[in-house]
Amino acid sequence: MSVVLPARACLLLDLDGTLIDIAPTPDSVVVPVDLPGVLIALRDRMAGALAIISGRPISQIDGLLPDVATAVAGEHGYAVRHLRGGAIDCADVVTVPEAFLAEAAAVVARYPGAILERKARGFVLHFRLAPEAGPVFAAALSAMLENWPHHRVASAHMAWEVKPVGIDKGRAVREIMARAPFAGRVPVFIGDDATDEDGMAVARAMGGLGLRVQEHFLDAAGVRRWLAGLARSAV
């Protein structure tokens, strides 16, 4: 790969589509057997400065990659744990109304294969297995949020996510970079979709790199090969 890490870099990595391959449903992803060891080796060589920043809740990240990253941000930065085994800090944001969830569930029920994924302060409508539902879901969510200023709709992989306003991966990058062992290092954020753009932009603004998977690595397998190469060399 042509990507060269800057001196004193730290790694801030998206999960789905970046470290692991996208699957038909969020629960059906597979973690390659050698990935945890590669990430742990890189974490140790970087004096702990490796983080995972995902749209998934922290509990799901821990289930897929337990005790791997020093810092973990879940739900696009709504929840951040700065150290392994440490406390989880959650942003003070408004929860989504139950009426929205009920309306979303009713719309999803019309499309076999579509999934409603609930999160702490929002939800996701997945339509990978029901692609015809994509435009319908987008229209329904737009109407739902028209007079509700606390959440917004974000595009993801064959999904629409309702997220709190002000919560994004750029915020997560800033929070993680403010504390040891990341403070004073150069951020390298790697992600693959629209929800990662804020993280990339903040990493670049801080003098680091914001790398889109498709442009620099082709796919998640390419990211894993690059990381494995880094783990075999001195970082």
Which amino acids are annotated catalytic?
Answer: 14
Enumerate residues 6+ apart whose C-beta is below 8 A from 36. 65, 66, 68
- How many other β-carbons are positioned within 10 Å of the β-carbon of residue 220? 21
| Nearest one of 73, 34, 37 to 56, comparing CA atoms | 73
Round to whole Å and give the CA distance between 98 and 95. Answer: 9
Dihedral-angle region of residue 77 (phi above 0 means left; psi in -120 to 50 means alpha; beta otherwise): left
Enumerate residues 6+ apart whose C-beta is below 8 A from 44. none
Complete DSSP assignment for 115-130: EEEE-SS-EEEE-TT-
Complete DSSP assignment for 145-201: TTT-TTEEEEEETTEEEEEETT-SHHHHHHHHHTSTTTTTSEEEEEE-SGGGHHHHH
CA atoms within 13 A on the CB side of 216: 21
Q: What angle do CA 195, 93, 165 make, to 5 degrees?
A: 40
